[in-house]
Structure 1
């Protein structure tokens, strides 16, 4: 294994032609240069120089080393510059896995802030629903996961993950615009017991069934889809109603759909998750800060 300082000193000896000249150039003593070259030769297992008057001449092994030394030093310099850029947040890559409604709301706002302040930080976006998205994080397929949980329905979170709470998201009900209950500011869940329902992902469906059971009825689930746009289209067509998080209301695409608060009030917790050791990576910490800022701004609205 070669030490970079030995390679740098070797390169300078070759460039200047002698140990003494290299010592003057690098600000070392000549004995220090001699000791470094002996250490490098021990690593190589063969002499690199022979004496030539007051200077030195490369052996065959030395000539081979000289051909590689410049490339090695350039690679080290490039690596140092890249590390410095990452540390100073001029660059860096962060892979974020988020559930659809977060991808449509929190992510765009956070990325707009990030691009304006740190254009060299690159964010790659993946979509995934918990708990699968948490497993992606553990497997190293992403650096940050945005996930949600419902009261009383928490899944076990792996011990090596750190939860960063972002916001509480109130649940609402999506109704066709002409629905009789759409005139109310809030709709009691029990008043919708006779409706046909559209259910979402497994975690949301489990919470929905639990909420209905608490109100004493089993819902008639006519459709199941994870696609928020499909849910809105089905509601707009009048073929069902849906319980959806309030984040969805910010990107309603149909004028024939209206969102109303549902009673009793239920909220889901939206959090970011990250591997503990990744909290020390500057770009990852920066993305987390931007997500927290956007979430706090939404809560304050």
Structure 2
């Protein structure tokens, strides 16, 4: 493995024609140049220079290295410039995997804030429900995963990951606007025991079954989908009611559907997850901070 300093010194010796000239150009002593070239020859395993009278000439190996040296130094310079840009947040790419309602509510303001101050940072967005989003993070397919969890639900965070809590997202009941309970500010779960239900993703369905059991009934689940827009359409059509997070209310598109708080209050915790070492990557840490700000702005909405 060649030392880049030795390659740089070798290039200067070749360019100037002598150790002494290279020493003057680089601000070194001539013995320092000699020692570096001896070290480079040891690494190469062959002589690079041969004496020609009082001057130097390149051996065949030296000529081969000289052909590559400029390209090597150019690549190193380009790498240093790119790494400097990444460190100064003038460039960078961050891959975010989030669940649908976070993509629709937390991601847009976070990205707007990011681009306002750091337009060179690029974000790639993908979509997955937990725990698949966390598995993608562990597989290296994304840099940040947004996921949610319910109180008391099983599911430990892998030790390789760091959890950054963002917010508590209150759960609501989606009802047709003509439903008798739609006139209330909040709805007791026990009053919904005779309703038909539309369930969401596996994690959300498991939570629905748990809290309904705590309220004393087993919900009649007639339809299951993790498509939030489909859930709204199904509720509007009178197929059933649904337990949905408040984030979904931000993009409610049906005038025939309304959301009401649940009593007793229920919520899910929304967090960002990153690999521990990735928190040291400037662009990743910046996106996490923007997500925290976006989530804080929604608290109490």
**Structure 1 alignment gaps of length 5 or more:** none
Pairs within 5 Å for 1:249-264: 249-264=249-264
TM-score, normalized by length of structure 2?
0.98
* Counterpart in the other structure of 1:92: 92
Alignment RMSD, CA only? 1.0
- Contact between 1:19 and 1:55, CA under 8 Å: does it hold in 2? no
| Partner Cα distance (1:56, 1:154) in 2 | 73
* Counterpart in the other structure of 2:215: 215
* Counterpart in the other structure of 1:179: 179
| Partner Cα distance (1:145, 1:108) in 2 | 15
Count the aligned residue pairs.
301
TM-score, normalized by length of structure 1?
0.98
* Counterpart in the other structure of 2:79: 79
| Partner Cα distance (1:68, 1:176) in 2 | 72
Pairs within 5 Å for 1:124-203: 124-203=124-203
* Counterpart in the other structure of 2:296: 296
* Counterpart in the other structure of 1:273: 273
Give CA deviations for 1:194-246 in whole Å, capped at 9, x if unaligned.
11111001111111001111111111111100110110111111111100000
| Partner Cα distance (1:56, 1:252) in 2 | 79
- Contact between 1:166 and 1:291, CA under 8 Å: does it hold in 2? yes
Give CA deviations for 1:144-168 in whole Å, capped at 9, x if unaligned.
1111111111311111211111000
| Partner Cα distance (2:6, 2:31) in 1 | 14
User: Displacement, 1:92?
Assistant: 1.1
| Partner Cα distance (2:55, 2:70) in 1 | 21
| Partner Cα distance (1:221, 1:300) in 2 | 30
Secondary structure of the residue aligned to 1:251 is coil
**Structure 2 alignment gaps of length 5 or more:** none
Runs of 4+ in 1 over 4 A off after TM superposition: none
